[in-house]
């Protein structure tokens, strides 16, 4: 089957009048609806609003009003990102019926460039998972497009799965806290880009952990994902942590073969041998193409990354989830009796098991008496881990390591893992996420017929270097 047009090709054809946006939108909606019966990539397919938007844009093109870098491009959006007027649940039963009054800034920016939102993609409830199997009560877990017995990876599983499966031009807006873009990109064999913390506004993102959450992009190619990231980046007055940097032309960066590349020793060591082998092969090729390769050690990140990440993220998550109590939006029942008992009743019914686990863990980590030993210490460790990265970037452009230590596991394999073992799977993705560093996952090989992803990490705001390297890695295939 022929590869779908890239975003740029698609937009060029649309402008020439060779593609009807309405027809293309119809096609991809049909594809989403049909595949959803089996694969469950969407929590909601926004047929009516997508078609309405498509018709408006098409009419606009005829009168010369619409230009846009994403003119008529269908985008899928992770469920935790608010889209005005479209039920947005972050994969949780407790947000059943919540229809945001406003769209996330990332959505507004994409829309301003002509993108069409086709639906909300499946995810682990609030992003709490590595395999997209921790879906909320009443939600279906998405299946890997290459093997339905396997998971998509999480938490942006629906985004990655549909990006891989779709035969049409499409890109997806995902979100990462500890690796939720890179992981499913790796497991499904697509490209996932996570920007520097603060580059893309979090306004309109249903929080998991505010100091870690980043909105990013997933697509079939580096160019597609980079173009979407270019569009959604930039300062936003509604998010106090948003940065003033723009990422102009990120979608038009050329590959670079003479980058200084660091191989992260410890993060290789923790991975399955075949995964290591596939990544080594790619790096060897990269070296032959002209990259300077050296081994880098990040001992602190390897040793303390996961612990620091789970303490900080669950502490923040436990406060973020406090607002869900059945009073103002989402799941609610008849408001009666003692408020404490009512809140408990709604929260017991609305949250899934992993959400409850993380609320408990996070609440414990910030309680008086434990706060110093856990939450505050983790915050201090985090500062040290960032410093370790900064030292590494003094002499190199990008760091490389496998994205995930394994290929996508089967659901039966996942069931055998304890929560701790599941958390340990985030070994490679957590450090860059904890440090807020931009990173990409690019498919580079196959093991057991399943894709293997290579993770490329750049220094803060060095998204261009990240994309240059990602394009070079992509070119090796």
Interface positions with other proteins (CB under 8 A): 81-82, 88, 90, 95, 98, 100-102, 104, 202-207, 210-211, 237-241, 315-316, 318-319, 322-325, 327-329, 339-340, 343, 363, 366-368, 371, 375, 379
**Residue 73 vs 104, nearer CB to other proteins:** 104
Q: How far is the CB of 296 from other proteins (least distance, A)?
A: 28
**Which runs of E-coded beta strand occur in 80-122?**
116-121
Q: How far is the CB of 201 from other proteins (least distance, A)?
A: 9
- Ramachandran bin of 90, using left for φ above 0, alpha for ψ from -120 to 50, beta for the remaining angles: left
| Phi/psi at 247 (5° precision) | -120, 55
Query: What number of other Cβ atoms are within 10 A of residue 314's Cβ?
Result: 25
Identified catalytic residue from 172, 176, 180, 201: 180
For residue 200, what is the DSSP state? Answer: B
**Residue 32 vs 243, nearer CB to other proteins:** 243
192: part of which helix (H) or strand (E)?
strand 191-194
Is residue 204 within 8 Å of 157, Cβ to Cβ? Answer: no
**Residue 269 vs 339, nearer CB to other proteins:** 339
Identified catalytic residue from 78, 109, 111, 220: 78
**Which runs of E-coded beta strand occur in 129-179?**
171-176
Q: How far is the CB of 147 from other proteins (least distance, A)?
A: 34
Q: Is the peptide bond before 310 cis (omega within 30 degrees of 0)?
A: no
Structure tokens belonging to residue 420: 């701790």
CA proximity to 430, closest of 443, 421, 419, 439: 439
Distance CA 42, CA 79 (A): 8
Distance CA 84, CA 63 (A): 26
**Residue 76 vs 186, nearer CB to other proteins:** 76
**Residue 297 vs 319, nearer CB to other proteins:** 319
Q: How far is the CB of 205 from other proteins (least distance, A)?
A: 6
The three-state secondary structure class of 183 is helix
Cα 260 to Cα 106, 443, 469, distances in angstroms: 32, 20, 10
Per-residue buried b or exposed e for 356-387, using 16+ beta carbons within 10 Å of the residue's own CB: eebbebbbbbbeeeeeeebbebbeebbeebbe
Q: How far is the CB of 290 from other proteins (least distance, A)?
A: 41
**Residue 208 vs 389, nearer CB to other proteins:** 208
Task: Answer yes or no: 318 catalytic.
Answer: no
Task: Answer yes or no: 155 catalytic.
Answer: yes
Is residue 279 within 8 Å of 445, Cβ to Cβ? Answer: yes
Identified catalytic residue from 155, 186, 242, 441: 155
Q: How far is the CB of 36 from other proteins (least distance, A)?
A: 24
Distance CA 228, CA 194 (A): 11
Task: Answer yes or no: 214 catalytic.
Answer: no
Q: How far is the CB of 408 from other proteins (least distance, A)?
A: 30
Is residue 267 within 8 Å of 385, Cβ to Cβ? Answer: no
Distance CA 87, CA 182 (A): 26
**Residue 18 vs 340, nearer CB to other proteins:** 340
**Residue 241 vs 410, nearer CB to other proteins:** 241
Q: How far is the CB of 136 from other proteins (least distance, A)?
A: 14
Structure tokens belonging to residue 465: 């270097």
Residue carrying structure tokens 């230009």: 67
What residues act catalytically? 78, 155, 180
């Amino acid at each position: 089957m022929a590869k779908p047009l890239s975003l740029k090709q698609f937009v060029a054809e649309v402008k020439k009048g060779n593609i009807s946006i309405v027809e293309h939108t119809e096609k991809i909606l049909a594809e989403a609806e049909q595949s959803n019966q089996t694969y469950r990539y969407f929590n909601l397919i926004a047929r009516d609003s997508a078609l309405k938007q498509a018709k408006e844009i098409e009419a606009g093109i005829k009168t010369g009003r619409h230009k846009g870098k994403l003119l008529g491009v269908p985008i899928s959006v992770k469920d935790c990102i608010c889209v005005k007027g479209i039920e947005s649940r972050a994969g949780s039963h407790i947000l059943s019926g919540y229809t945001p009054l406003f769209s996330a800034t990332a959505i507004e920016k994409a829309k301003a460039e002509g993108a069409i939102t086709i639906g909300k993609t499946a995810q682990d409830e609030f992003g709490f998972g590595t395999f997209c199997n921790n879906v909320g009560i009443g939600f279906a877990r998405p299946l890997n497009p290459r093997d339905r017995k396997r998971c998509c990876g999480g938490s942006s599983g629906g985004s990655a799965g549909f990006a891989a499966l779709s035969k049409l031009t499409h890109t997806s807006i995902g979100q990462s806290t500890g690796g939720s873009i890179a992981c499913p990109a790796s497991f499904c064999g697509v490209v996932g880009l996570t920007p520097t913390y603060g580059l893309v506004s979090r306004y309109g993102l249903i929080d998991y952990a505010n100091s870690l959450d980043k909105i990013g992009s997933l697509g079939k190619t580096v160019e597609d994902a980079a173009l979407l990231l270019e569009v959604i980046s930039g300062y936003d007055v509604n998010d106090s942590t948003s940065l003033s940097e723009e990422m102009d032309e990120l979608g038009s960066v050329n590959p670079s073969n003479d980058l200084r590349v660091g191989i992260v020793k410890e993060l290789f060591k923790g991975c399955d041998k075949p995964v290591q082998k596939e990544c080594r092969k790619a790096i060897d090729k990269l070296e032959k193409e002209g990259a300077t390769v050296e081994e880098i050690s990040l001992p602190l990140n390897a040793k303390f990354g996961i612990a620091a990440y789970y303490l900080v993220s669950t502490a923040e998550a436990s406060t973020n989830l406090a607002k869900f109590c059945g009073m103002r939006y989402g799941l609610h029942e008849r408001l009666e009796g003692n408020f404490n008992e009512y809140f408990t009743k709604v929260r017991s019914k609305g949250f899934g098991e992993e959400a409850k686990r993380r609320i408990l863990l996070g609440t414990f980590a910030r309680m008086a008496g434990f706060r110093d030993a856990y939450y505050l210490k983790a915050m201090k460790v985090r500062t040290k881990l960032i410093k370790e990265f900064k030292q590494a970037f003094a002499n190199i452009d990008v760091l490389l390591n496998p994205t995930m230590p394994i290929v996508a596991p089967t659901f039966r394999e996942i069931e055998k893992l304890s929560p701790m073992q599941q958390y340990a799977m985030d070994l490679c993705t957590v450090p860059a996420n904890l440090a807020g560093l931009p990173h990409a996952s690019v498919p580079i090989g196959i093991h057991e017929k399943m894709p293997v992803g290579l993770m490329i990490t750049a220094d803060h705001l060095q998204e261009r270097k990240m994309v240059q390297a990602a394009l070079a890695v992509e070119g090796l295939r």
